[in-house]
Each structure stands twice: as structure tokens, then as C-alpha cells.
Amino acid sequence: MTTPRLQLLVGGARAETRADAAAVDGPSAARVAQLVRRGNCWSERWVDQFLPTDLRRLSSQHWTPLPVTRRAAQWIRELGIGSMVDIGSGVGKFCVATALAAEDCTFVGVEQRPRLVREAARLAETFGVQDRVTFVQGTLGELELPLASAYYLFNPFGENLHGRADQIDAAVELSKARYERDVSLIRTLLRQAAYGTYVLEYNGFGGEMPPGYRPVRADRNLPSPLRLWRKYKL
Ligand SMILES: C[S@@+](CC[C@H](N)C(=O)[O-])C[C@H]1O[C@@H](n2cnc3c(N)ncnc32)[C@H](O)[C@@H]1O
């Protein structure tokens, strides 16, 4: 693994002026945060409204839905998970919404696209969780993944197999070769992880979990399957 080349952007990074700020027309951020915290926010739009319009449009396909963050937060609380890294954190929706309902857990999102890192940091600040939710710009394989009790994977490499219309943008390499490289990298990282490490997988990551990982929770009543694995000694 090469030396990390990281640009750390904390949630409190200085906010830029949002061209489409006027598009926010739902409940206030404080009210939405309260609803998410209590598990009572039933509209994706109420969270998504705080994203720029073009990124909001990608939500149903690329960002974790709220029912998934609710279930994740419940499992984090039940199992006392104290830290989580979202591998491919996008606009930060998973980290921010889950953090609101799992108040004893810290989150780091790792994301290759600098613009998404900036927007994620802004979302964390909007919802007041920037002390526990931070984002790092970097690409898997070029950075040392932060250590955590749990890692989250929402099919991060699937975009490599999509046509242009279903991709986030054309700013990064997207190809079948990269897909295979990234899936293999993740399997290596999971093989190296300490016993007791959890992996939360939503809609898979494109490969099989390495030996030693056993399912400890599952929810198949979500838009895609959500599974929590724990690594045990073989
Ligand atoms: C399906 S989105 C999930 C976003 C976020 N985890 C969520 O659930 O809301 C996958 C994200 O992974 C990022 N990604 C994909 N491959 C990556 C890599 N090799 N290194 C860093 N980020 C990556 C993409 O840029 C994209 O933002």
C-alpha cells in the first residue's frame, strides 16, 4: 500500500455560498435533524433538500436511503460500535443521517471526488454533527484506510459497470478493470482487518466476504439487502 496522500476536510470546513440555497423549501435543518435523530423522518427529500440540485437528483440511486440509516443506527447502538468508516462516502448522507441517530459513534467518510467531500462536510455542518463526522478525500489503494470498529460499503464500485447516464460524473476513471481492481483491494483490506471488525454491506460490494466473516444482523425488507458481518478467528 502506498503512502497516504490525504486531504483532511473536517465537517467544520468553511461553507461556500450555495447557488441553489433558495431551493430549500422543506422543514429547517434543526427540525429535520430532530426527526432523523428520533427515527421519524419519512421523506428523503427533507434531507436531500440541503444538497445542491444536481446531487439531489442522484439521491435515489447513489445515496443511502433513510430507512437503511435508521436500521444501521439501531445495530450500532445495540452492539456498542464506536467508530465507522464509510468507504466511498459520496455526499455524506449515510454518515450524517446515521450519526444523528447513533450519538455515541464517530464517522469518517472516505471519498475520491473532491467536490463530494466538500458537500459532505457542509452537510455535516448543516446538521450539527461535524464534531463526530468528518470526511477525507482519497482513493482506495492510494490512502491508508482509517482504523475503525466498522466499515460501511454501499456498492461503491457498481458505478464502474453503469452506462454514462447512471454515473455520478465523468471526473474519475470508471471501467470494468477498475471495478475488478477495487473489489480485490477491498477483499485484501477485509482479510487484513482485526478480529472483531464489523462490515456493514448495503447491496453488496461486488465480491464475497473473505473467510472468517459471519453475518450477525440482516434486513431484507429494505430497497436492497442490508447485512452486518463480524470477523471471527477461523
Ligand atoms: C453508491 S455511492 C455511496 C455514497 C455513500 N456511501 C452513501 O451511502 O450515501 C459510492 C461512492 O463511492 C465513491 N467511490 C467509488 N470508488 C471509490 C474508490 N475507489 N475510492 C474512493 N471512493 C470511491 C464514489 O465516488 C461514490 O461517491
For the CA of 93, the nearest atom of ligand 1: 9
Would you state the torsion angle of the CA atoms of residues 39, 45, 47, 52, taken in this order, to the nearest 10 degrees? 170
Consecutive sets of 10 residues in the chain, 234 residues long: mean pLDDT of each? 33 36 76 97 96 97 98 98 98 98 98 98 98 98 96 97 94 97 97 98 96 98 97 95
Residue nearest ligand 1's atom 5 by CA = 89
Q: Is 76 in contact with 68 (CB distance < 8 Å)?
A: no
- CA dist., res. 107 & res. 160, Å (int): 25
Q: How far is the CA of 61 from the centre of ligand 1 (A)?
A: 12
Would you state the pLDDT for residue 25? 76
Q: How far is the CA of 206 from the centre of ligand 1 (A)?
A: 13
Residue nearest ligand 1's atom 10 by CA = 156
Residue nearest ligand 1's atom 2 by CA = 62
For the CA of 61, the nearest atom of ligand 1: 1
Q: Is 124 in contact with 97 (CB distance < 8 Å)?
A: no
For the CA of 172, the nearest atom of ligand 1: 25
Cell of 85: 468508516
Q: At what angle do helices 93-101 and 114-126 cross, to 10 degrees?
A: 20
For the CA of 152, the nearest atom of ligand 1: 6
For the CA of 90, the nearest atom of ligand 1: 27
Domains of the chain with bracketed CATH: 29-231 (3.40.50.150)
- Residue of 48, 57, 154 with the most ligand 1 atoms within 8 Å of its CB, for mutation: 154
Would you state the pLDDT for residue 21? 47
Going 166 to 36 to 51 to 14, the CA torsion angle's sign is negative
Residue nearest ligand 1's atom 13 by CA = 88
